[in-house]
Amino acid sequence: MSTYKSLLPVDEEGYYGRFGGAYVPEILHSNVENLRKAFYRYVDDDDFKQEFDTLMRDYVGRPSPLYRAGRLSEHYGTNIYLKREDLNHTGAHKINNAIGSALLARRMGKHRIIAETGAGQHGVATATVCALMGLECVVYMGATDVARQQPNVERMKMLGAKVVPVMSGNRTLKDATNEAIRDWCCNPDSFYIIGSTVGPHPYPEMVAHFQSVISSEIRSQLKSQAGCETPDYVVACVGGGSNAAGAFYHFINEPSVRLIAAEAAGLGVDSGQTAATIQAGSEGIIHGARTLVMQTPDGQIEEPYSISAGLDYPGIGPLHAFLARSGRADVLAVTDREALDAAMTLTRLEGIIPALESAHALAVLDRLKFGHDEIVVINVSGRGDKDMNTYMRELKIED
């Protein structure tokens, strides 16, 4: 008998309030159903859990530190703790899900992995895990992204993945996802690893589960470092929502913990150049789930924009649509400029160069006033190496 019970506000059909579900074409029904069964079968299996935990520790390098940022805390007059997902192998949180999903693929007897990627971060994490486990790896990537994310394309190729440039639509993440789904339709023997808490049920629940290691560690680390398991605030950026889901997971049912999601405003929520899906989007269906979507009044998906490639998605995971609409989470839309400034502040005060995505979460410090005695945990989802070109172009650094 399984003792697994999700701590998420999700029902058996994968609905978070009115969001979620599994809106897939007939041809995908059995793929999704087999995945759902396998996930519930192995999620609580002792061997599975042990293999996952061992790889998290010895391969990814977990637990990632929870670091009390002294100079940053002094600067903002509060207590700031940084959850250092940037120190994971491959430099971000995405490896947590890639490992959990690939272990599940192996249990299901699948040897070919499909993935989509935008900036290339999920593609690199997936290609890494496929090399580790000896699995074939095919990564769909919009041709526009292939051209602008060369270092990650090269990493994937060196790791042995086949990178397929997608020529349809705007040739970015949405188009790559469509192509990955199409591949899965034709190749039901393959396993599709989605890079965020998006897609049809059980993906959002499954990805959040694999990422929940983040908040599980935060609780025990806070207990030993600050004497209490729950902070006053947990802050994370949201693209599709997986690092935020992981950071929020073990606090969702603790009403004293305020959850703050930072979405990418781009040039401004009303500028037409934005990825602030929660504020600028409306209800619709994208990639198999009912959620908030950036769309025209007649339902055409609108191309999102953010300086940060990892936040540049026209949808949002159904969990976050629900947390936002129900008032459980507060959502702030952070502009490119605010994120760049926050990245500079962290770099100069703490010697940590964050990913541009994570910089959106850090920018919340300039928008909200936190009390002297309050504890604020910020999830640093990734490191900034991949963003150095953008930082050099956008920041006026004097020598």
Ligand X SMILES: *Cc1c(COP(=O)(O)O)cnc(C)c1O
Catalytic residues: 94, 116, 381
Site string for ligand X, 173-212 (x = CB under 6 A): -----------------------x----------------
What count of other Cβ atoms lies within 10 Å of the Cβ of residue 47?
Answer: 10
73 binds ligand X (CB under 6 A): no
**381 lines the binding site for ligand X (CB under 6 A):** yes
In the complex, minimum distance from the CB of residue 186 to ligand X, in angstroms, rounded to a whole number: 26
Instruction: State yes or no: residue 359 binds ligand X (CB under 6 A).
Output: no
Listed ranges 146-154, 155-163, 278-286, 352-360: which one lies at the site for ligand X (CB under 6 A): 352-360
Nearer to ligand X, 92 or 176 (CB): 92
As to burial, measured by CB atoms within 10 angstroms (0-12 exposed, 13-18 middle, 19+ buried), residue 14 is: buried
Q: Minimum Å distance from CB 288 to ligand X?
A: 16
Query: Looking at 357, 359, 375, 376, which residue binds ligand X (CB under 6 A)?
Result: 357
Considering the complex, what minimum distance in angstroms separates the CB of residue 210 from ligand X? 12
The reply on whether position 315 binds ligand X by CB under 6 A is no
Q: Which residues pair with 291 in a beta bridge?
A: 284
Contact mark string toward ligand X, 76..115, x via CB under 6 A: ----------------x-x---------------------
CB 266 within 8 A of CB 306: yes
Q: Is 336 a residue that touches ligand X (CB under 6 A)?
A: no
Alpha helices in the chain (DSSP H): 29-42, 46-55, 70-76, 94-107, 121-133, 143-148, 150-158, 173-186, 203-211, 213-226, 242-248, 277-280, 318-325, 336-350, 356-362, 364-367, 388-394
The letter for the amino acid at 21 is: G
Nearer to ligand X, 130 or 261 (CB): 261
CA distance 38 to 184: 17
The answer to whether residue 126 forms part of the interface with ligand X (CB under 6 A) is no
Site for ligand X in 226-245 (CB under 6 A): 237-244
CA distance 133 to 150: 25
How many Cβ atoms sit within 10 Å of the Cβ of residue 58? 9
Listed residue (332, 307, 301) closest to 291, CA to CA: 301
Strands 282-286, 375-380: pairing kind: unpaired
Nearer to ligand X, 79 or 197 (CB): 197
The residue from 21, 120, 288, 310 that contacts ligand X (CB under 6 A) is: 310
Q: Integer distance in angstroms from the first to the last C-alpha of the chain? A: 63
- Number of residues binding to ligand X, judged by CB under 6 A: 19
Shortest reach from residue 252's CB to ligand X, in Å = 16
Among 259, 333, 355, 375, binds ligand X (CB under 6 A): 355
Is 382 a binding residue for ligand X by CB under 6 A? The answer is yes
Number of other residues whose CB lies within 10 A of the CB of residue 53:
12
CB within 8 Å of 396: residues ≥ 6 apart: none
Q: Which parts of this chain interact with ligand X (CB under 6 A)?
A: 92, 94, 121, 196, 237-244, 310-311, 355, 357-358, 381-382
